[in-house]
């Protein structure tokens, strides 16, 4: 009686070992596919990081060019005043701001504002004021460099 019990237990143990080996193979295959997925994702992350850093480098270079071109834009604005028949009364500038006191007619000033908004993307109009004197109009215009 002892012998059939031992044989049945040994078959049961063998059966459990076979099932365990099958389960371990499934787990091993799953682990292998997960590692492959992780490696693919890491490669994608590296590519995205490189792309982002390259775009950031280009945008920093563009912002440096805009800083350098601020003086050129100021001279361009001063030259455009003559085309719009505006007279410069006072002019001051800082690192981020450009203040203009102008006189002239209203239509010329509106055309000048339209030019600044549409042509000069680096500067934005921060503030403008209009004063009416009995003989002419005075305009105060504050332009600010856009932060990138």
Question: 71-85 pLDDT, tens per residue?
Answer: 777 788 888 888 888
Backbone angles phi, psi at 125, to 5 degrees: -80, 115
The two tokens of residue 100 are: 């203009």
Q: What is the pTM of this model?
A: 0.51
Q: Which residue from 102, 113, 112 is spatially nearest to 136, judged by alpha carbons? A: 102
The two tokens of residue 122 are: 């680096």
Domains and CATH numbers, the chain: 2-145 (3.30.70.60)
Q: Indicate whether 148 pLDDT > 50.
A: no
Least confident stretch, 76-80, 87-91, 103-107, 118-122? 118-122
Q: 1 versus 26: which is more confidently predicted?
A: 26
Q: How far apart are CA 130 and CA 123, in angstroms?
A: 20
Mean pLDDT computed over 10-30: 91
Q: What is the pLDDT of residue 35?
A: 95
Based on its alpha-carbon atoms, the radius of gyration of the chain, rounded to whole angstroms, reads 37
Q: What is the pLDDT of residue 62?
A: 62
The size of the chain, in residues, is 148
Quick one: DSSP state of residue 136?
A: -
Q: Indicate whether 37 pLDDT > 90.
A: yes
Q: How far apart are CA 58 and CA 93, in angstroms?
A: 27
**For residue range 40-94, what is the model confidence (pLDDT) as tens digits?**
999 999 888 888 887 777 776 666 555 556 677 778 888 888 888 888 888 888 7
The two tokens of residue 73 are: 């834009």
Torsion-angle region of residue 85: left (phi > 0), alpha (psi -120 to 50) or beta? left
């Amino acid at each position: 009686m002892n012998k059939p019990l031992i044989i049945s237990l040994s078959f049961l143990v063998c059966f459990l070992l076979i099932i365990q080996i099958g389960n371990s193979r499934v787990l091993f295959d799953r682990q292998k596919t997960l590692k492959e997925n992780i490696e693919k994702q890491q490669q994608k992350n590296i590519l995205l990081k490189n792309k982002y850093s390259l775009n950031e480098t280009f945008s920093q270079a563009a912002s440096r060019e805009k800083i350098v071109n601020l003086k050129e834009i100021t001279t361009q604005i001063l030259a455009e005043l003559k085309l719009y028949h505006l007279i410069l009364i006072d002019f001051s500038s800082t690192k981020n701001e450009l203040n203009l006191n102008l006189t002239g007619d209203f239509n010329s000033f509106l055309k000048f504002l339209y030019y600044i908004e549409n042509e000069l993307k680096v500067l934005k109009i921060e503030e403008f004021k209009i004063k009416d004197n009995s003989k002419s109009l005075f305009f105060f215009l504050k332009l600010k460099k856009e932060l990138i």
